[in-house]
Structure 1
């Protein structure tokens, strides 16, 4: 007599066989906004646990303010207040530049330790992995910019509070984009951290000098003025000087805002593409 085989597979202990792979539950992805918020919180936790790192990164801008500023005061005939009105906005742009240009080093460290690979396989949007990291750069930038202004006030710097707030917003928009570009560079320099720092140092100081944040470029050679005209930081510096002086209608404000938005858009587009291709 023929027997009919039991269609349900079993083991010697009577346990049921595992469900087919297709039937197993797959982690569901959440929305982009929630993913971005989760990445933002994760990246911000080291700042909360170690706030002194934010203050320590202020050493370089404060050194420029304390040592380079007096030289400018001497060149201006001892006009301390006027020099600070011109110089402090440039220092704020320096804070945004230095603070966001090095953020890719953190991603390099995560890639070397394997932490980044674990985030890539998490049920998170690749776009959110980049955008959340870039948004995190706004927090230390705001804190550091405020501290620089507070340090300069006792020495005669006069600040327009609404202008300061709007100026910090413009710097935050720029910082998001420039931080995203730093992350993109880190992704491209995987396992070659020396290349990251070589590109970092090669670009950082020319951008700073050709922005006019340290010295006026009006009396410089023609080639420097041409280079400054294509440097987004020069427009950002002009906007910060106008905003902190309360001149909201100055053409430089519009130019700086456009430069910040364009930098942010380019950084996020390039960074998101790089993050999507990351393995």
Structure 2
């Protein structure tokens, strides 16, 4: 009859003193652990959580500073603040001339879309610029978990996009005299945050294509134009062809723009639209993780990680 022998680090409970020791028997039978070992388990989990949080926050901040091309004050102000505001004013006055929709429609829609510049291009730069600057290999050699590594890079763009949307909305309201109910502001902040998060996940998914394609910014340009046209921010979705409405339904910002317009009109927060926006963002985040894993393995196999 085979006898189960303990590993060197594992023994049974001692009947004399009732203490426990860590380890397991060679046949898979679990051994008891000491109270100190059991107490150390939550401690290790807390340390792992703290390390992951540090990777998300510190790694995201460093990558934003190193990889985002528009951090200098002239580029930031001109590209991310003045540009979206001028775009909003253009569509407001165009809408007045063509009598397609009122000012509220264009103001809220473009305030939501304003975050797309930082989020789409920023998410793309967060990955594609690693390859462009020749540092992608060093990043992928890191033993850290890929999820906090990449999602930490999206966090600064979420905050950046929220800041840009808030600035665009505030400046446009002051210039055009549009008033938004005070009780709608918390819901509007939640909608803008969900829009920025979903758009950043969309940018990460596009940036993942930078592991396979050379000119990923061409794809980002097309995607940014698609968000401008198909999300209902500047063209009412009911006026679009059926296939365009179908494409717009799976893009970020679509449901957020709809919820923002309803909020500003006093209709209250549309929880279904907000949930749809969050679900769309989660879908693109999952797609980004899958694409990054697939393209990383393929690039390792072909030795093309840093090949431009």
Quick one: which of 91, 114, 126 aligns to 1:95? 114
Q: Deviations over 1:21-64 (max 9, x none)?
A: xxxxxxx9763223212222323446897354432223432222
Identify unmatched segments of 5+ residues in structure 1: 1-27
1 CA distance for matches of 2:247 and 2:204? 25
Give the conservation status (yes or no) of the 8 Å contact 1:40–1:136.
yes
1:232 is displaced (CA, Å) by 5.0
Q: How many residues align?
A: 244
Task: Name the residue aligned to 2:6.
Answer: none
Shift of 1:137: 1.1
Report SS of the residue matched to 1:197.
helix
Structure 2: how far apart are the matches of 1:65 and 1:242?
A: 18
**Match in the other structure for 2:167:** 147
Structure 2 segments unaligned to the other structure (5+ residues): 1-46, 301-308
The aligned residue for residue 50 of structure 1 is 72
Q: Secondary structure at the match of 1:114?
A: coil
Q: How many Å apart are 1:69 and its aligned residue?
A: 1.4
Q: Provide the rounded CA distance (Å) in 2 between the counterparts of 1:236 and 1:172.
A: 9
1:116 corresponds to 2:133 = no
- Root-mean-square deviation (CA, aligned residues, Å) is 3.1
Once residues 240 and 281 of structure 2 are traced to their aligned partners in structure 1, the CA distance between those partners, rounded to angstroms, is 29
* Equivalent in the alignment of 1:130: 150
Contact 2:61 2:153 in 1 (8 A): no
TM-score (normalizing by structure 1): 0.73
Query: TM-score under structure 2 normalisation?
Result: 0.67
- Corresponding position: 1:169 with 2:190: yes
Deviation at 1:260, TM superposition (A): 1.8
1:71 is aligned to 94
Per-residue CA distance 1:164-214 (angstroms, 9 max, x = gap): 4433333333333332332233233337332x2333233332342122211
Give the conservation status (yes or no) of the 8 Å contact 2:205–2:285: no
- Using a 3 Å threshold, how does the CA distance of structure 1 residues 222 and 158 change in structure 2: closer, same or farther? same
Alpha carbons of structure 1 residues 201 and 88: separation in structure 2 relative to 1, 3 Å: same
Please name the residue that 1:272 is paired with. 289
Offset at 1:91?
0.6
8 Å contact 2:202–2:285 — kept in the other structure? yes
